[in-house]
Amino acid sequence: MRIVIGQGSCGIAAGAEKVRKALLNVDVRCDISITGCIGMCYLEPIVDIYDDNNTLTRLVKVSETDAQAIADYVNNGDKSAVEKLIVTEEDSQFLTKQTRIALRNCGIINPEEITAYTATGGYDALKKALGMTPEEVIDIIKVSGLAGRGGAGFPTWFKWNAARQSAGEEKYLICNADEGDPGAFMDRAVIESDPHNLIEGMLIGAYAIGAKHAVVYVRAEYPLAIKRLKNAILQATEAGIIGENIFGSNFSCDFMIKAGAGAFVCGEETALIESLEGHRGMPRLKPPFPAQSGFWRKPSNINNVETFANVAWIINNGGEAFAAMGTEGSKGTKVFAVTGKVKRSGLVEIPMGKTLRDVIFDIGGGMKTDKPFKAVQMGGPSGGCIPADLIDTVIDYKALGATGAIMGSGGMVVMDESTCMVGMAKFFLDFTAKESCGKCIHCRIGTKRMLEMLERITNGDGKEGDIELLEELCYSEYEAHIHDKKCPAGECSALIEYTINADKCRGCTLCARNCPVGAITGTVKNPHVIDTDKCIKCGKCYSVCRFDAVVKA
């Protein structure tokens, strides 16, 4: 038997390391190791127990107090004490309904051991690629139809080919791991859970374009990803996989990690290059494109983490196998980080061509609240919100683009009726206004002015003419804010009124005791009343009431 504990950042934050320590403190007679992100983030911490036939018993929402029960199961086969922790059939389907290529090793292998990766056939694709010409490698990627998973969906082979054909001996292969879209964490999971897969994909890319230097630009907010990637680079270097004459070939390539310092705009490739060179991350004018003049003005190719995570699989299985999945215009699979008001949040990899409903309802289990689904935000600040009536939209670059949103890097933030769309727009404008690098006036001034308008509207001071100015945004909900001075979602505090439902109120006095301005009156066991003139709409009464008696409208 062996025990494997899921230790991605989310798992650790949920308590996986405490569980591991607790298991080390009880007498468990089997090997205890770690793996990365299993993807069922809503069930963390997760402990997987494999028996000698490699049959898996998965325990979920484990706490350190369960350690002895786990020991009893492992040592004596006494299942009774862990029975309540075993994952349900319904929850298991969260994974069994997925098709995992980029995430194929995530949550299975130990990300800190190169031998765990090579045991799955890791680095075989690199060996295979080195036996081909770079043109043949690019051709396989062309047949696969792989497109940039960072969001834009540009054909990967085209970029590789442009960099390959660019004149010059010194070239750079760069991985964009500056996962800046709020709500997206696919790339973090890949690096934390399967760093060698990224390295292998990058080395194949470097060979294809003729680069001798590979650089990974990672967000500083991802310390665990940086630590595991550094460790993996060290192991691969010791194994002769990074460095001079890789696998005895003429191909040599070194590796470097650069940590970003927190700037959303650095996800844009020319801003990323500026940042790599130690400057402010201000985008450069294009052309020239990085393929002609990139890092240190040398030909450079930049792809996203998930794009590279598909490469080794494609080389091993052939471009046709990858292209057999998906739609006419979008091939292969895509990873989504599904979060927000959805019941089962986590990482979902599915073939292109599935619908949003498949992801949010079939795999994600629908809403975790009793409120109906309202919209899903995709593509981060550059994307948009797809409303409920478009839930059957097919996942495909073109079809998603037609809704006004974009595929994006894979963040899917699910919202129910309690999320205000005007507030959501304000949230993103606040983000883009803060993150604007200031180079172009449209963004520097435009986002600020729009934010001011939305602040006015959500404070109840919206006026005629505002809608026309913001007309591309969600219409009816804006009208309610401006004309009726109501926020249908009940989120914009200036437009909300709190009252107490006398039938539900038990007179427990909790709300009155919590009200910071003494706006609630009433005696014990009798319904209380809110003085709306005194009320500052802080929402404390609403959040403390145990009987749902406080009404927010």
Tokens of 63: 């706490």
CA gyration radius for the chain? 26
Output DSSP code: residue 371. S
Q: Which member of 248, 278, 287, 518 binds another protein (CB under 8 A)?
A: 278
Residue 129 CB, shortest distance to another protein, in Å, is 29
Looking at residue 358, what DSSP letter applies? I
Q: Kindly state whether residue 259 participates in binding another protein, applying the rule CB under 8 A.
A: yes
Using CB under 8 A as the binding rule, the residues of this chain from 30 to 59 that contact another protein are 41-42, 44
Is 281 among the residues that bind another protein (CB under 8 A)? Answer: yes
- Which range binds another protein by CB under 8 A, 274-282, 306-314, 473-481, 517-525? 274-282
Closer Cβ to another protein, 117 or 185, answer by number: 185
Amino acid (1-letter code) at residue 209: I
Residue 477 touching another protein (CB under 8 A)? no
Please give the sequence-ordered ranges of beta strands (E in DSSP) within 68-201, or none if there are none. Answer: 172-177
Span of 63-71, 74-82, 86-94, 408-416 interacting with another protein by CB under 8 A: 408-416
For 57-92, the DSSP string reads EEE-S--GGGHHHHHHHHHH---TTTGGGBPPHHHH
Does the footprint of another protein cover residue 280 (CB under 8 A)? yes
Residues of span 356-385 touching another protein by CB under 8 A: 377, 380
CB-CB contact of 20 with 11 (8 Å): no
Residue 184 in the binding site for another protein (CB under 8 A)? yes
Angstrom distance (rounded) from CA 494 to CA 478:
14
When binding is defined by CB under 8 A, the residue of 112, 427, 439, 448 that contacts another protein is 427
Residue 10 CB, nearest distance to another protein (Å)?
Answer: 5
400-to-337, 356, 406 alpha-carbon distances in Å: 16, 10, 5
**Contacting another protein within 110-129 (CB under 8 A):** none
Number of residues that bind another protein (CB under 8 A): 58
Cα–Cα distance for residue pair 396/52, rounded to 1 Å: 42
Per-position DSSP letters for 480-536, written without gaps between them: HHHHS---TTS--GGG--EEE-TTT-----HHHHH-TT--EE--TTS--EE-TTT--
Cβ-based nearer residue to another protein, 102 or 146: 102
Q: Does 193 bind another protein (CB under 8 A)?
A: no
d(CA 294, CA 410): 26
Q: Does 419 bind another protein (CB under 8 A)?
A: yes
Stretch that binds another protein, among 76-84, 138-146, 336-344, 520-528 (CB under 8 A): 336-344
Helix (H) / strand (E) containing 337: strand 333-340
Cβ distance to another protein smaller for residue 131 or 262: 262
In terms of CB distance, is 179 or 396 closer to another protein? 179
Q: Return the amino acid letter for 385.
A: C
Q: Is 277 in the site for another protein (CB under 8 A)?
A: yes
CB of 147 to another protein, least distance (A): 23
Taking the least distance from each CB to another protein, the nearer of 13 and 234 is 13
Question: Does residue 12 belong to the site contacting another protein (CB under 8 A)?
Answer: yes
User: What contacts 194, CB < 8 A, 6 or more positions away?
Assistant: 36, 103, 104, 105, 106, 109, 111, 117, 309
Does the footprint of another protein cover residue 63 (CB under 8 A)? Answer: no
Provide the minimum distance between the beta carbon of 275 and another protein in the complex, in angstroms, as a whole number. Answer: 7
Q: How far is the CB of 545 from another protein (least distance, A)?
A: 13
Q: Which residue number, 236 or 424, has a Cβ lying nearer to another protein?
A: 424
13 binds another protein (CB under 8 A): yes
What distance in Å separates the CA atoms of residue 61 and residue 66, rounded to the nearest whole number? 10
| DSSP per-residue letters across 142-154 | HHHT-B-TTTT--
Q: Which of 59, 236, 413, 454 binds another protein (CB under 8 A)?
A: 413
Nearest CA among 394, 380, 356, 374 for reference residue 474: 374
- How far is CA 237 from each of CA 224, 225, 240, rounded to the nearest angstrom? 20, 18, 5
State the binding string over 290-329 for another protein (x if CB under 8 A, else -): ------x---------------------------------
541 binds another protein (CB under 8 A): no
DSSP 3-state of 330: coil
| Assigned token pair, 377 | 């935000």
**Stretch in the footprint of another protein (CB under 8 A) among 119-127, 259-267, 285-293, 349-357:** 259-267
Residues contributing to the site for another protein (CB under 8 A):
9-10, 12-14, 41-42, 44, 179-185, 188, 219-223, 258-264, 275-281, 296, 337, 339-341, 345-346, 377, 380, 411, 413-415, 419, 424, 427-428, 431, 435, 437, 538-539, 543
